[in-house]
Amino acid sequence: MAKGKRKQFFSVQDAREFYLCIDDLLQSEAVQSMKKFTQHGTTSTFDHCIVVAFRSFLFCKKFHLDYKAAARGGLLHDLFLYDWHDKQTRSKLHGFYHPGIALKNAENSFSLTDKEREIIKKHMWPLTVIPPTCREAYIISYYDKVCTSREVVVEWGGALLKAFNLLKTTKSETRDKI
Ligand SMILES: [Fe+2]
Ligand SMILES: [Fe+2]
């Protein structure tokens, strides 16, 4: 591979098919409102859900699983619609309860299949003890953790670099004064 050239993990056709699976959801106010909330660092809940949904969709398509359910359930899996960083507004034990809240919100706005319901409800497994009953829900649960770890690494990495820069500045300022 030529230096500096990144491997393309998906085709334009993949992106088109993914879009067709979630087109109606994307038009909704509920899904659009996820853009207002931060998931981790600089990643919005909407961006997090899109990436989890797309990666799960690609995996399911490759292995002949229900990629439409993966795309739709993946997009709706964190439709809890509040700022989970805010102790005043967030649900107590957010980690345990937000899948149920997301499912309720999704059911209020869309007509869901059993598989989509299962994906949303079980995406925090194994934290929420009862295991998923379909393979697609395991895939979303896996990519949710992969994407979350990445977002957290970027957030913490950025904060650590800022702290290092601050330390460097403080050190050289102290040195200049001596
Ligand atoms: Fe979640
Ligand atoms: Fe998530």
List, for residues 116-126, the tens digit of each pLDDT value: 999 999 999 99
**Residues contacting 99, CB < 8 A, separation 6+:** 77, 120, 121, 122, 123, 124, 128
Domains of the chain: 12-173 (1.10.3210)
What pLDDT is recorded for position 64? 98
| Smallest-distance ligand from the CA of 122 | 1
* Span from the CA of 28 to the centroid of ligand 2 (angstroms): 19
Distance 41 CA to ligand 2 centre (A): 14
Tell which residue, 47, 73, 76, has the closest CA to residue 60.
Answer: 73
Q: Give me ligand 1 centre to Cα 49, in Å.
A: 9
Average pLDDT in the chain: 90
Residue 62 confidence class, pLDDT cut points 50, 70, 90 = very high
Closest ligand to Cα 142 = 2
What protein residues have CB closer than 5 angstroms to ion ligand 1? 78
- Residues in Cβ contact with 85 at an 8 Å cutoff, skipping those fewer than 6 apart: 38
Kindly report the backbone phi and psi dihedral angles of residue 43, in degrees, each rounded to the nearest multiple of 5, phi listed first: -90, 125
The alpha carbon of 34 and the centre of ligand 2 are apart by a number of angstroms equal to: 12
Q: Which two tokens stand for residue 20?
A: 């067709």
Quick one: what percent of the chain has pLDDT higher than 90? 71
When pLDDT is cut at 50, 70 and 90, the band that residue 9 belongs to is: confident
Mean pLDDT of 25-35: 97
Contact 144, 120 (CB under 8 A): no
- 138 alpha-carbon distance from chain centroid: 15
Indicate the pLDDT class of residue 172, thresholds 50, 70 and 90.
low
pTM of the model: 0.86
